[in-house]
Each structure stands twice: as C-alpha cells, then as structure tokens.
Structure 1
Amino acid sequence: MTAEVAFERLGDDPAVPTLTELLSRRAKDSPAREFLRFGEWSWSFAEIDDWTSRLAHRLIEVDGVRPGERVAIMLPNVVHWPVVWLAVLKAGAVAVPVNSSYQRADLAFVLRDSGARVVCTDAERSVLIGEVVAGEDVRVIDVADDGSESFPATPPAVPIDGGALANLQYTSGTTGFPKACMLTHDYWVRLGWICAAATGLGADDILLTAQPFSYMDPQWNTALALTAGAPLVVLPRFSASTFMADVRRHRATFFYVLGSMPTLLFKQPPSPEDRDNDLRLVFCSGIPTGLHAKLEERWDAPWREVYGMTESGIDLFSPFDDPGAVGSGSLGGPVPTKQVRVVGPDGADLPDGEAGELIIAGTPMMNGYWNRPEDTARVLRDGWLHTGDVVVRRQDHGIRLVGRIKDMVRRGGENVASVEVEAALERDDLVVSAAVVAEPDETFGEEVKAFVRLAAGVPAVRATAERIVERAGKELARFKVPRYVEFVADFPRTPSERVSKPALKARAAADPGVTYDLGARRPRGFLDVGVVRDVAVVTLRRPEKLNAMDVATRLRLASVIREFGTGERVRGIVLTGEGRAFSAGEDLLSAPSTEAEMREAFASFHDITRAILETRVPVIAAVNGIAVGGASEITLCCDARIGTSATEYFQPENGRGITISNASSVLLRRLVGNHATRLILGSPRVPAGEALRIGLLDEIVEPAALIDRAVDTVIDWTPEGNTTALHLALLRPRAEDVEAAFTREDLAAAEAWASGVLRAGIEGFLSTRSEKETST
C-alpha cells in the first residue's frame, strides 16, 4: 500500500480498519524504515511490530489480560509508552492513559473508575501505584524489564475489528471528575487517515510532537505516522525556548501545537536561524489571529487551524492551499465525514453571523462516556455532539470560535467571551499568557478578572497592570476591559493543555497572588469633564507634574473628545489644564522603554489628533500656561487657541533627540508658515506675545476670563440652524494628509529609536531632572 493519502480521498473509509493491522502492514511494506525516535534512539516499523507482539503475548500469558479488559499506562514520554499502547491493543484489551504527574487522589480515581487490572509504569511511579492499589487485584509492570524477550514476535491470535474498543481516554475534567471517552480502533485509524489526507504527508516527511503521550495529540500523531509511513519524533516535553531548535535538529517537516503554545513560541527572541528549517506545514488549535501571518513569516511555513475534541477527533480544518485563512480567525470548514450546525438554546439553527453552540455529527466519534450514561445522553443527543463551544458561522461558511458556553463573563447586560479578552492581553509583549474569569460583583453581577503570567524581568506592580489593561482596552469594548489583574507564575492545566480555570480560581481563593483592582482608575484618570453653558470643558488635572500625560490619560482624552464630539450632547469642547501649565506633554517618567511602547506612545497622540479633527463641533484650546511638546501639538489640532500672558509654547523635541508627533508636520506649517522650521529645529521657548504675532495664539485674555472666552467662542460659532460641522470639515486638513503625516512621523520615530537617539534624549532629560532635584 502507498503511504500518501490523496486529498480527494479525505472522506473515504480508511484502507485498514485497525491500528494493529496498520502497524503490521507497515512492518511488511517498509520494515527498516524509521517509525519512532526518542532522543538519539530510534526504532523501525519492524522492530516496534515485533516488540509489541512479544509484549502482547506476555500480557495475555503472564498477566491474564483478556479482550476488553483495561490496562493502564502511567509513563512519561519514553518509547515504552507507544509500545505498551500498541501491545495492549494487540492483546485485544483497552488502554487507559494516565497522566504521569498524577498524585494519589487523581490516580486512584482513574484506576478504580476504569477498572484497570494491570498498570504499566516505571520505577519512579511504581511505589505510588503500589500504595494506591494495595490490597486490590491489580498487577504493576515495570516497563524497564517487561519480560517480553522470550515470547514470539508474531501477533497473538486475537480477533480485532474496527469497532473494538481501543482507549478509555479521560478528558480534562474541568467540572468534577474527568470522564473517559470510549474510543475505538476505527476512531484512531480514521483520525490518522483524515489528517494524512488533509496534510498530504508521506514517507519522506518527519513528524514531531512534544505533548505528554497520555494526551490525545501524540496518539493521533502515532496514527498519522502509521498512515503516512513517516517517522514520529517525540520530545520529552514542550519547552518554548528549545522547541524550534529541536524542530531544526530533527529536520521535522510537520508538527501540531495548541492553546498557548504558538504565543509562547512567538515570544521567544527572534533568531537568524528561524527560517532555517525543513517545515512544510503546521497544524494548530488556537492560532492567535493577530499573530497568524507573523508566525508563518517567521518560520517560513503555512500554519492552519484544526478543530476537534477528544469526543470527536477532527471536525474542522483550514486547507493548506487556502491563503485566505491566514489571520482570518476562521477554524475552517467541516471534514467530509462530519456535519456541523450552529444552534441556539432551543436547538434551532441560527443564521450566519449569529453566535450559538457548535454541534457535530459524523465519524469519527466516541461511543460515549465510560460508566456515565447520563453525561453521554446530555452531550450526545439525536446523534449530535453538543460541544459547549460558542461559534459564529461566517458568510464564507467558515466557523469562528467565540468562546465556551461556561467560559463567559456576564457583566451587566453584556456577554464577554474570555477567549477574546485573553487574545487581546496576550498580544502584549509584557504578557506570556493570560486567563480570564468572572469575578462576582454587587453592581454588575460579574466583573472581568484576568490572571496574567508576565514575561521575564517584567515587575508585577500596579503600573504594569495598568499598562497591560490600557493596551488591551484599545482593542476591546469598554465593558470587556478587565477590572482585576492578578499576576501568577504559572497556570494549572488540564490533560489537554488548557488552563484549568476552576483550579485557577480555587488556588486564587486559597492563596491569592499579587492582585490589583483597576476599577477606580479607569473612569477618571487625570481628566476632569464638566459642562458649562452646553460646552464640555475638559481639564487635565495633574498640576504637580505640569499636567504631563501618560498613555492612559491620552487614551481617555481621545475617548472623551469622541464622546462629546458628535454634537448630540454639547455645542463644542474646550481643552485646558489646571495650575500653571496647559500640559508638559509626554510624561517622561513613564516614557517608552521598548520599541513597542514607543509605537504605542505615538499611536496615542495620533488618536487625539484624529478625535479632534473628526468632531462635528468646534474644539478650542484654552492655553492657560506652558504647552510643551506633544501638548502644544494637541493645541494645533484645535480650531482656535486662546491664551493668557502666562502662555508659553515649547517644542523641545529636536534638542532632546525626540521626533515630532501628532501631525505637527502638517499643522504647524499650515498655521505659522516658515516659523515652523525655527520652532522645531531651534527649540525656542515662544512667549504669549510672540505666539500671538506668528499665529500660534488667536487672542490673549486675562487668566480669569480664559474659560469664559473659550466657551463664548464655541457659542458664537454654533448659532441655531448653523452649518458649523460642514464648515469645520472644509476648513480642517484632509484626513489623508494627516494620515500621510502619521506615516512619516512613525518612520522617523522608528529610525530615531533604532539609532538610540530617542532613548538617549529621554535618558538625558531624566538625568538633568534628577540633578536639578538633587541640587535643590
């Protein structure tokens, strides 16, 4: 038989009905070809076929294993794991994978629930197992000396067909004790067949896996290797820092990763060797939408989404010849042997674009849950598996995952999908991984809480929590932004490598980590908003720091301008500052320390410009004192600037080695003509009189009259039945000119950052400031 399975045969029945016969065929067709590789050791198809036959005889003749009896396997990632698995199947018995890190309670439950009479393990775990099964009729076999050498290398004469039970595969157990899915030979063979056809893998490929063998993934990878006739490389464990080096070393052409693995891999430092690999394709579950294209570019291979469950194997996938899948967030469409529906709580089908539960029918599919008829009846209804996943069917018939039915936060009247918030948080360079849960709240019923694992060296302080939430808030609706952030060193995980949120919440209740309540911070920041004569007066209130603005304040300022800028609530907006300064601009005490933070800083200033220029009402700057850098540039966006004798403009960027931002390259020259070059390159301080002469100010008034005059200006410009909004659109610079300026400024900023000039300028300012404080 040929190893490759053509794509067009994806929906066909497998050519061989059982895993054991598939191994036998491979041993005959390609006896010397490599099958399994663990570290520097490897075994051929023939060697594994002989070994598993001898061990199967031993299980039958020494241990009395009979068809249908259960044999537990509690081992780490060593070659004995797949050998025992295949030997158990050759004996006609049923394998019970046991997590090798289980302790007494978990182990006792699985052994007693499954009724396993034999446990295959190693010396490290045999003492624990012996204590758990003491006094019971259970045999414990140490695989280091399995005693199989003297038995024949021919398979036992045990009849096995595709419908024979192969595994009791215990699921994650996110609610209560785990349940065992009853999986047949046909389940595994069909899973291997579908994956082989979907990938086009063949004998010349090399597969690699790093998950524990007791989980699903290395097992279906084994079925795939048997189907394709390709070797499977098994790593001891998944390590983000060494995984891609192992991929290169073993010359792997295919691997599968899931959950947080793609994000963890991408957050490793880039290497010139990243694209120096033999990868042809990658299957993945949970590709971050925003990272998808970057993952493919970095490792020079297509990554495609595949969706499935222990209960159902593979259900959805994105073909490798579909570039439209990249970054789409789609899970793809159903494999030919499956039918899928999106239904509401009443079981009725929902239209495209409406979120509902994904239900699945077809093959492969579990026979049900072992010893759990009620759970089986609840999940398998009328032939349809109810997945518990909330999805949306797209117009192109692709499926997009929204979240789990039980993994939603109900905040007020809004549903928040944890997976969406987690994805936004994990796009931050400061974050390695995140998990979002519901926190009880008297006002909203539930609030959003995020558990966050930070990147190495990032301090678990309030400022970090605020910065992470602020960044995520730019991508999320306000009601989805976490109120609580708890920093953790790791996450408890389920056997399928998902975060166990019940365990996480229990651990937080018993031993909480560093936690911050950001609820009191979000609504106000350093801004105060009032309405005077139908005009919104927005005041920066941080006089002790000359109203310097951090990222949070700038984001809040843009939001407030947009809120009032529609004209539905007020006639216009006045911007001002408290004390002796309009604003000192960027708060250099929380200045960017990474390139990503630099880009964020510029983006937040750009957003204020957009917000002002998009309003349908006049925006007036009441410049009560000094306006420095980015703050002076904010006034340039306004439709008028009214000052006092204390007004002073200062553009220190060039002197500090910092590039201009906030579209000054368009607006400053538009307002003051050739004075713009002098103001930027010379960095002079421009007092009120000079500012009025060259056009930076429209008028100067007494300090006590400043706000009233700004409000009067708005009222004068917005008479009843006016066309102010139309005229503002004509008088203000074109959006395309401003966006072009943003692009130029971002490139200049990136160049300044790369050269070190920008960072040196910030450090120079901080050093000078520190010296002044010391001298005083």
Structure 2
Amino acid sequence: MGADPSVATLTGLLAERARRSPDREFLRFGDESWTFAEIDAWTSRLAHRLIEVDGVQPGDRVAIMLPNIVHWPVVWLSALKAGAVAVPVNSSYKRADLTFLLRDSGARVVFTDHERAGLLKEVADTETDLADLRVVDVAADGSAPFPATAPAVRPTAGTLANLQYTSGTTGFPKACMLTHDYWVRLGWTCAAVTGLGSDDVLLTAQPFSYMDPQWNTALALTIGAPLVVLPRFSASGFFADVRRHRATFFYVLGSMPTLLFKQPPHPDDLDNRLRLVLCSGVPVGIHAQLEERWGAPWREIYGMTETGVDLFASVDDADSVGSGSLGFPVPTKRVRVVDPQGVDLPEGEPGELIVSGRPMMLGYWNRPEDTARVLRDGWLHTGDVVVRRPDGGIQLVGRIKDMVRRGGENIASAEVEAALERDGEVVAAAVVAEPDETFGEEVKAFVQLAAGVPADRTTAARLVDRAGRQLARFKVPRYVEFVTDFPRTPSERVSKLALKARAAAEPGVTFDLGDRRGSAGAPAASSAGVLDVDVVRGVAVLTLRRPEKLNAMDVATRRRLAYLIRKFGSGENVRGIVLTGEGRAFSAGEDLQAPPTSYEEMREAFETFHDITRAVVETRVPVIAAVNGLAVGGASEITLCCDARIGSPAAEYYQPENGRGITISNASSLLLARIVRNHAMRMVLGSPRIGAEEALRIGLLDEIVAPGELVDRAVDLVVEWTPDNNTTALHLALLRPRLDEIEQAFAREDAAARETWESGVFRAGVEGFWTAKGTGK
C-alpha cells in the first residue's frame, strides 16, 4: 500500500483522473454516463458559481438534499473545490428533521430539486435563524457561464470535507467531521485490501446521502473505475441491474443480503461478472448459499461513519464463510476488545471493540462531550460488543445499546434477529426489549412474514420454536408482533426508535408465547403427578415420584422440571432448590419404553434435557441434588450441573449410553470432565456402575449421609449457603460454568446425536436393550 496515499484530497484525485484518463467513464446513472473529464469540468464551473454568486468561503457549509441523481456527487465535489464543507441531507426528511439538521450544521446554501424546493423554502421562510439560507434548484444550477478550470482554493488533506450525520437510530443524529484525508484514505485502503482495479465496474443502490455511495465514489476515483448508481435498492430487480450494467463489485448491508436471498431463484443468477461482494452483517446461515447462488465471494467489511473501514475478511479467506467473522484489522488500523474499565479481554470474552488509526473522524460537530466520550486516548469506542476468535479474527455479538437485559442475562438483539431471519417464512425481524415486572426486560420480536404466511398465533409459535433450536432458552422471544414493513434509516437498518414509536401509537396484535419456553405458564398437567413440590424451611424440594419406572422421565416431566426450577430459581419465594427421587432410584433418565421414533422427537428429547441444565445454571439460588439411589444416563447428567451432590449409601452412577447407541446429551462433555477429570472417559466409554464411596472419591458426590437424612442434609446445605444479607447469587454466577460454554457443549452433543440417528445406531441400540431385557441378559 505504501505509507500514505499519493494524492491527498478528493478534488486532487478527480483532477488526476481527468488528466490521465479524461475519456474514461466515471459516473453512470440509468442510461446516462459522464467521464472523469466531464465531471471535473462541471464541478469546477459549479465551484466558481458557489464562490462568486453564493458568496461561499472556505469552511462554509453547503447542504445537499437530493435523491440518487448525478447532481448529488457533482454538488459534493463542487463544494469541496470551493473549500466548503458538504452536508448530506436525507432526501426523505420532513420539516422537523430538516430544520434540526440545517440549524445544527449552519448551512448557508442547500442544493435540491423541484420536488423538495418548496419544503426548503417553507423552512427558510418560517425559521428566523435560517432566513439567509440560499436554496438552489439543480435543474438550473447556473454553472454554465463559469470557467471549467478549478478555482484557486487549494484544500489540503486536513481540510474538513463533510459533516456526515449518523443515521440517528437512538435519537437526534450527530455530525461526524470528516476530512479529505478521511475520504482519500478510505478509498485507498479499500482498493488495497480488495484488489479492485480500473477494469472493474462498481455498483451501489443506497441513498447518496449515506456513506456507501460516497466511499464508493472515493474508491472509483482511486482505481479509475466507473461507479453505477441505482435510484434505490429493490431486492426484486437488483440482480437484473447487476447483469445489465456488468457490475463486478457491490456492497450491501443490514437486511439487504437476506432480502436478496429470499428472492426466487432465477436461471440467470450465475450469469454475471461479479468478482467480489462486500457486506456488513451477512447472516451466517445463508452466507455460503449466497456465494454459491451468485458465483462470487461475499466478504465481511466492518466500519462506521466515525472510522471508515476497520476490519476486512480477505477474499482468500474461504474459512470465514458462514463463520460470523468480521475478519482482521486493515493495515492502517489497530483494534482491541476491552471491558467497561478499558482492560483488554482474552480470546472468547465479549467486550467492546475499540479502534485506532486512520481514517478517523476529527470528532462530532458542536458536541465536545460526545466526542470526549467516544474518542479516548486515541481510541474510538465503537459501542459494538465483539469477541476475539481463536484465529485472531473478530466476531460481532451486538450493540451495547441494542441489548435486552433479561434477569441477569444480556441478550444481543442481532443474534435473535439472525435466528429468526434464517426461517424461510420470515422476510425480516427486529428484536427489542419489552418491560417485564419479573425479569426487568423480556424479548419481543417484530416479524415481517413472507407472502402467504398467516399472521396468527400458530405461525408465531412455529417461528419461536424453530428459532429456539438455535438459541439459549433465555434468548427466545416471549412476544411476537407481525408487521407489514419496517421504518428504516438511510443505511437500510431498521430504525428501532421509530418502530417502537409506531407500535406505541398504533399497537398491533402481540402474541405472548411465554408458556412455550417456560417463562410463564406451567407445562401440561399430565406431568404433575410424577413430580411433586414441597417447601421445607424455605427450600423447594422437587421429588420424582415414579418409582415403578425408576423415576424415568418423559418429555412432559422434563419440561415441568425445567419450569419449576425457573419458577423457584429467582429466589423470590425460596432460598434454594433440592432435586431428589422416590424409591430406589434418583432417576433412570430417558424413558426407553417410549423412545423417539423420528429425529424430530429425538431432537426434542435432547432439548428438554438441555433446558434443565440451562434452568439450573440460570438460577440465583443454590441447587442441590439429593441422590437417593440409581442415577442413570440423563438423570446422572442432570446432577452434574447442580451446585452440590449429596448421596445415600445406595447412590449409584451409571452412564450406559455408549452401549445403547445414545450419546451423552446434557452438557456432560463439558460438565463431567470438569468434575471428575480423567475419570470421565472411563465413565462414558466403559459404562461402569460407580457406587457411593467411589463417587465420593472421584468427586461425583460431595457427601454421603444416611437415607433418612438425605433431603434434610440437602436442605441444611441450602440454608447454610444462603445466610442473611448474602452475596450467594453473585458467587454462584462466578463459580458455575459459563452458559455459552454449556451451549457449545450442547451443539457438539446435538451433532453427535444426529449422527447416531442417521446411521441407525440409536435405533439398533434401543432395540438391543429391549431384546437383552426380554431374554434376561
């Protein structure tokens, strides 16, 4: 790349291109195009007009309120040639937003078209502090009589070029102060990391008032390639335009990749010249299919208005496809992942992404406090929560301000949205926090459905169930509201501020699905008879009462157990929980008298075991397993996530899965090794019966007490661990395994379970078990 760009300003880049390749195409709007020389001459004439007619001096602000027409980049480059500062204005702004932006920026001149001129004149006439605002209609910009050579004004790399207002998703927008160096360095960096050159054809469909067409313009000037600008983004017609213009490169963000993917496949999908697609936030689940369908690499690029470009997944990095990786820092940037105190975090720990290097904004216009809050000691705090991957790359978790805080858990809205949007019945989704008396906030999803899908409770439940297979239980939406569209920012992101305001003003039908994930409403009563609840000295004692079946648990019982653990786990009504069984068995785990008959049933069986582990780990109170006898399979695994295990002399652990074609399923691949270390391999592969004394020796049990004292001792332990004014909940959270580690174990175990099902090993193992039982073996 070299140390610095060879040309320091955007206007210098344009002059250089006009000199070296005057007749090469630069800008294409619809069926019309303009060369570098034509745009250079036009912008010089208009810059003279700004200086001589409008009295624009260096540093004055010139606003641009136009749709995607060629006059937009022409006015931008003309203002820069006059030494002015461009102020892009969203062409759809109404009076309040427009007044704020014009007043905040102090614009002296605004260029617009006939459709918007009336609104601008009305604002200028009624707002006394905007009375001197000059409104210029680009249809007659008055540039023709002026010379086609640039004015004598000579901006430098540090000259302010733009007041670029952010999208304003969380309040009034702030203007980032961007210099010529910012734009030149952004185009220079993107050219270097992508390998694009003069033979490429760039294409953009976002509004020009937003960043993307502007940095695409800087890229086109850097590499000497044409830029095609579409009037707007249309998912249905986008790839027809890509083919028609023979585009080799484009950039999409937000919901755009999902909307493109959900268009019906077309025989001409592969009939294109694409070499590279850059995207921000491509859904992990469809990333590989996007590449396959259109025959070009789709790679992540990360940046902000404040920082330009920071991270990039290399074209050669095929391993990034579908991984969720944002890539690695570009050569001009350094990145860190830090906690709220600014301390660097290790690999895998979520924290805020902070960035240093160039390009970088100077700060926020008229907002020194906001600048000081975001720019600290040379590092810009992005507000994005990320983790550093094992390969050193960066993976996005979500926005600090776009999180749902449910109980003690932080839920990234982006993760839940991605899970919902992978569903073929969903066009787009937006997740917000809904106030909740119990948990503080609950997860609410606004969902836009595909054509023909009914917007009813059945659909809502189906979508939540499918999303729940990809998410931790506490992340699954409780509320679903269907919408026909979303209010969006100019960058095609959903404006959640506007969405919530619209929902408050015009509330739709919201489906409460809390009973489908255990947060409200008990499971079917059919399981109540085999799982009793007693409260002893302020401790909830949950007892499996199916002794004739060794307390084996069917799906309904496991759901009820997870529900009760969550019900009592908040600590509002009891100080702890004890799990035990009646008769000679703690539990025989899965009820093999009613084994799954399909993969879906097996997946549900695994998930209900998983959910008990989640429920235990999420509690704010101690959970003690009182192991009164035989603990087999999944029941043995359930005890592993408890905070202590107390057994009677009859306690016996048995993990027979390996000989039955079943896999361990309740995060044992993590929890068992955590407790018994190298004994885990022998327990699972050899399936020995481990009695109470050996269980105590290797760590499966913490104590052995007389049978009649078992539950009382477990209750005593809960009381001992929960004194008045305690910090028990905080210590439990610190000492227990992390839920994300448990979820990773679930994913590994689910993959193994699928393999046993698809290979037939599972079915053969269960049939072999019953054959052996029938012959007395």
One-letter code of the match for 1:141? V
Q: Cα 1:540–1:178, aligned 2, differ >3 Å: closer, same or farther?
A: closer
Give 1:662-673 correspondences, 5 Å limit: none
CA–CA distance in structure 2, aligned partners of residues 733 and 316 of structure 1: 43
Q: CA deviation at 1:528?
A: 3.4
Counterparts of 2:590 and 2:610, CA distance in 1: 13
Deviations along 1:637-663, one digit per CA (max 9) or x if unpaired, are x99xxxxxxxxxxxxxxxxxxxxxxxx
1:581-602 CA deviation, whole Å, 9 max, x = no partner? Answer: x99x99xxxxxxxxxxxxxxx6
Aligned counterparts of 1:428 and 1:239: Cα–Cα separation in 2: 21
Go from structure 1 to structure 2 and tell me whether the alpha carbon gap of 1:286 and 1:569 turns closer, same or farther (over 3 Å shift): farther
Residue correspondence of structure 1 range 16-27 to structure 2 within 5 A? 16-27=7-18
Q: Is the 8 A contact 2:163 2:178 kept in 1?
A: yes
- The structure 2 residue matched to 1:399, chosen from 387, 394, 398, is 394
Number of residues of Structure 1 aligned to a counterpart in Structure 2: 604
Answering whether residue 107 of structure 2 is matched by residue 121 of structure 1, we say no
Match of 1:700 in 2: none
- Hey, what's the Cα distance between the residues in 2 that align with 1:431 and 1:614? 26
What are structure 2's unaligned runs of at least 5 residues?
Answer: 531-543, 567-578, 612-631, 634-647, 665-751, 762-777
1:527/1:538 contact within 8 Å kept: no
Deviation at 1:612, TM superposition (A): 11
Contact between 2:86 and 2:162, CA under 8 Å: does it hold in 1? yes
Whole-Å separation in 2 of the counterparts to 1:460 and 1:399: 37
| 1:450 to partner: Cα distance | 0.7
Question: Could you tell me which residue of structure 1 aligns to residue 142 of structure 2?
Answer: 147
**Partners of 1:611 and 1:217 in 2: how far apart?**
43
Residue deviations 1:297-337, cap 9 Å, x none?
11110111110000110011111111121111111111111
Question: SS of 2:515's equivalent?
Answer: coil
Residue 514 of structure 1: how far off its partner (Å):
2.4
Q: Give TM-score, length-normalised by structure 2.
A: 0.73
| Matches for 1:258-657 after TM superposition, within 5 Å | 258-523=253-518, 524=522, 526=524, 528-529=526-527, 530=530, 531-533=544-546, 535-536=550-551, 570-572=587-589, 574=591, 603-608=599-604
- Compared CA separation, residues 527 and 309, structure 1 to 2 (3 A): farther
Return the alpha-carbon distance in structure 1 between the equivalents of residues 480 and 82 of structure 2.
52
2:214 to 219, 222, 227: 219
- Pick one of 717, 742, 758 that aligns with 2:758: 742
Opposite residue 192 of structure 2, the aligned amino acid is A
Pick from 33, 43, 51 the counterpart of residue 60 of structure 1: 51
SS in 2 for 1:528: helix
The alignment partner of 2:5 has SS state of coil
CA displacement 1:384-425 (0-9 Å, x = unmatched) = 111111111112110111111111111111111111111111
47 and 569 in structure 1: CA distance in 2 versus 1, 3 angstrom threshold: farther
Partner of 1:249: 244
Question: Partner of 2:100 in structure 1?
Answer: 109
Cα distance, 1:176 vs structure 2: 2.7
- C-alpha distance in 2 between matches for 1:275 and 1:172: 34
Distance (Å, rounded) in 2 between the aligned partners of 1:53 and 1:558: 75
Query: Any idea what SS the aligned residue of 2:99 has?
Result: helix
| Residue in 2 that maps onto 1:683 | none
Indicate if the aligned counterparts of 2:171 and 2:497 stay in contact, CA closer than 8 A. no
Paired residues of 1:488 and 1:514 also in contact (CA < 8 A) = no
Residue type matched to 1:324 in 2? D
Cα deviation, 1:703-741, whole Å, max 9, x if unaligned, reads xxxxxxxxxxxxxxx994657533x64255799898366
Tell me the SS of whatever aligns to 1:475. coil
Cα separation, 2, equivalents of 1:477 and 1:737: 18
| Inter-partner Cα distance in structure 2 for 1:456 and 1:273 | 23
C-alpha contact 1:189 1:223 (8 A) present in aligned 2: yes
CA RMSD of aligned residues (A): 3.3
CA distance change for structure 1 residues 613 and 513 in 2, over 3 Å: closer, same or farther? Answer: closer
Distance 2:293 2:660 in 1: 45
TM-superposed deviation, 1:575: 8.0
Q: Which amino acid aligns with 2:20?
A: D
Deviations 1:148-187, CA, capped at 9 Å, x for gaps = 1111111111121111110000012233311100000000
Q: Which amino acid aligns with 1:204?
A: D
C-alpha change, 1:540 and 1:725, in structure 2 (3 Å) is closer
| Conserved 8 A contact 1:558-1:611 | no
Give the aligned partner of residue 193 of structure 1: 188
Deviation at 1:521, TM superposition (A): 3.7
After TM superposition, the score normalised by the length of structure 1 is: 0.73
Correspondence for 2:32 = 41
How far apart, CA to CA, are the structure 2 residues paired with 1:103 and 1:222?
27
- Residue pair 1:536, 1:573 contacting (<8 A) in 2 also: no
Per-residue CA deviation, residues 663-714 of structure 1 (Å, 9 max, x unaligned), is xxxxxxxxxxxxxxxxxxxxxxxxxxxxxxxxxxxxxxxxxxxxxxxxxxxx
Change (3 A) 1:128 1:734: closer
CA gap of 1:287–1:527, structure 2 versus 1, over 3 A, is farther
Equivalent residue number for residue 710 of structure 1: none
> What SS does structure 2 have at the residue aligned with 1:313?
coil
Rate the CA distance shift 1:732–1:257 in 2: closer, same or farther, 3 A: closer
Q: Judging changes above 3 Å, is the alpha-carbon distance between structure 1 residues 536 and 473 closer, same or farther for their aligned structure 2 residues?
A: farther
Contact 1:241 1:265 in 2 (8 A): yes
Distance (whole Å) between structure 2 residues aligned to residue 568 and residue 223 of structure 1? 72
SS at match of 1:167: strand
Deviations 1:202-222 (A, max 9, x none): 111000000000000000000
Would you say the 8 A contact 1:565–1:572 is kept in 2? Answer: no
- Deviation of 1:497 after TM superposition, in Å, equals 2.3
Give distance in 2, aligned partners of 1:350 and 1:237: 41
Determine the structure 1 residue equivalent to 2:680: none
Q: Is 2:77 aligned against 1:81?
A: no
CA offset digits 1:346-370 (Å, max 9, x no partner): 1111111111111111111111111
TM-aligned CA distance change 1:139 to 1:721, over 3 Å: closer
The answer on 1:156 being equivalent to 2:151 is yes
Whole-Å Cα distance in 2 between the matches of residues 241 and 190 of structure 1? 34
Preserved contact between residue 312 and residue 365 of structure 1 (Cα < 8 Å): yes
- Asked if structure 2 preserves the Cα contact closer than 8 Å seen for 1:71 and 1:117, the reply is yes
Deviations for 1:444-465, whole angstroms, at most 9, x for unmatched residues? 1111111111111111100110
Which letter does structure 2 place at the counterpart of 1:94? V
Q: 1: distance between equivalents of 2:160 and 2:54? A: 20
The code of the aligned residue for 1:347 comes to G
DSSP-derived class of the 1:333 partner: strand
1:235 aligns with 2:230: yes
Q: Which moved more, 1:208-217 or 1:290-299?
A: 290-299
CA change 1:380–1:568 in 2 (3 A) is farther
Mapped partners of 1:64, 1:744: distance in 2: 82
Match status 1:50 vs 2:41? yes
Cα deviation 1:538-582 (Å, max 9, x = unaligned)? 6789xxxxxxxxxxx9x969999xx99999952445589xxxxx9
Structure 1 residue 536: Cα displacement = 4.2
**How much does 1:511 deviate?**
1.1
Contact 1:209 1:232 (8 Å CA) reproduced:
yes
Cα deviation for residue 289 of structure 1 reads 1.2
Contact 2:599 2:757 in 1 (8 A): no
Q: 1:203 to 1:569 in 2, by over 3 A?
A: farther
